[in-house]
Amino acid sequence: MAYDFFIESQVKTFATFGAFPVTGALKTIYIDESTADAYYWDGSSYVQIRTESKYEAIDVLNNTGASVPKMSVCYIKTTSSSANTPEILLANATSEATSSKTIGLLMATTANATTGKLVTAGEYDKFDTSTYNVGDRLWLGTTDGSITTTPPTQPNHAVFLGIVTRKQSQNGRILVAIQNGYELNELHNVLIDTPTNGQALIFDDATDLWKNVSPTIQIDNVLISAGDWVLSAGIYKYTYSNAAITDIKVVEIMPANDAYSIVQGIEVLPLTESFNGYVEFYANNLPTEDFYVTILIRI
């Protein structure tokens, strides 16, 4: 049917589609006020007048065991009972698993074991946005399928959903533009390998990457008393106690500037051995005077 059909058409409005007359009239446009959808009578049935789509949507299957309300935020299940249609689950900002793959908003309430449509991008104009204002930023909430205007705080996961572009109870518009917040180890210039409690990130200029390392405790001006060295198996041994040291820690000894000549004279060995609560380091010759060092403990 050519578009010029509508040029001389009259317009009639009705509260709902169900209130349309059983038999329509030609050259008449019928408006369903509950949805703002327009129809014409083609001689045997009402045909909806389609406008150019401003959104993208996909067919989805609801197998959650319950009806899923319109405008629920969903993600796609990794498996599906259908060979043709992906299954949806309700998204939730409280975990990585339920937030990171958020994909869209349900176009209409979808009963269990039936298919529906999910708006994945663009502007859809049949949502209830009466509780929002134009310009409101929408985020994934912390209850299943929910929407909030308040960005979630850690440890909840930030997933931006879109922007309200019309405030209306039945024909409200949302510009859907889903953006999932990143985990630290998902950033392209961060390499985290088996993180442990208390580690920090440092920049490695050789690889241009931030990497996780155990931080270092630096203890300055540690007095090494000449009288505390003990001869053991032909080597002089000094024991330094510190609760931060365990048998798996790396400990380095750095002499103060004015102690280098003393250290060289007694031939302090580079070897250290750490144990729970203390570290032992060694010298070939017995020191005859006190000196100071800096202790670095890699925790």
Q: pLDDT tens digits, residue range 185-223?
A: 889 999 999 988 878 888 888 899 999 888 888 888 889
Task: Identify the pLDDT of residue 251.
Answer: 77
Bond prior to 155 in cis (omega within 30° of 0): yes
pLDDT computed for residue 9 by the predictor = 57
β-bridge pairing 209-213 and 190-191:
parallel
pLDDT the model gives residue 35: 66
Question: Is pLDDT larger for residue 249 or for residue 276?
Answer: 276
What are residue 230's DSSP bridge partners? 237
pLDDT at 63: 95
> For residue 4, what pLDDT is reported?
46
pLDDT, residue 105, reads: 97
- The pLDDT, as a whole number, for residue 177 is 95
pLDDT given for residue 58 in this prediction: 92
Q: What is the pLDDT of residues 28-62, one digit of tens each?
A: 899 888 767 788 998 999 887 866 558 899 999 99
- Residue 245 CA to residue 288 CA, distance in Å, equals 27
The pTM score is 0.61
Bridge partners of 281, per DSSP, are 238, 272
DSSP structure class, residue 266: H
pLDDT tier at 91 (50, 70, 90 boundaries)? very high
Distance CA 230, CA 237 (A): 5
Task: Report d(CA 16, CA 39) in Å as an integer.
Answer: 12
Q: Residue ranges per domain, the chain? A: 3-48, 55-180, 184-213, 216-298
Q: Give the integer Cα–Cα distance in Å for 67 and 114.
A: 9
Structure tokens at 251: 């400990």
At residue 230, the 3 state secondary structure works out as: strand
- The tally of CA atoms less than 13 A away on the side-chain side of residue 243 is 0
Q: Which long-range contacts (CB under 8 A, 24 or more apart) does 176-179 make?
A: 176/55, 176/104, 176/105, 176/119, 176/120, 176/121, 176/122, 176/123, 176/124, 177/121, 178/102, 178/103, 178/104, 178/120, 178/121
Exposure on the CB side of residue 36, measured as CA atoms within 13 A:
11
Q: Which residues contact 102 (CB under 8 A, 6 or more apart)?
A: 73, 74, 75, 91, 140, 159, 161, 178, 180
Q: Strand, helix or coil at 79?
A: coil
pLDDT digits (tens, 9 = 90+) for 114-161: 999 999 999 998 899 999 999 999 999 999 999 999 999 989 999 999
| Joined tokens for residue 39 | 């129809």
pLDDT of residue 3: 43
Structure tokens at 299: 């925790």
- What's the pLDDT score for residue 48? 79
Burial of 103 (C-beta count, 10 Å sphere; 0-12/13-18/19+)? buried
Distance CA 255, CA 268 (A): 10
140-173 residues labelled b (16+ CB within 10 A) or e (exposed): bbbebbbbeeeebeeebbbbbbbbbbebbeebbb
268-275 sheet: strands from edge to edge: 230-232, 235-241, 278-283, 268-275
Model confidence at 268, pLDDT cuts 50, 70, 90, reads confident
Q: Are the C-beta atoms of residues 113 and 160 closer than 8 Å to each other?
A: no
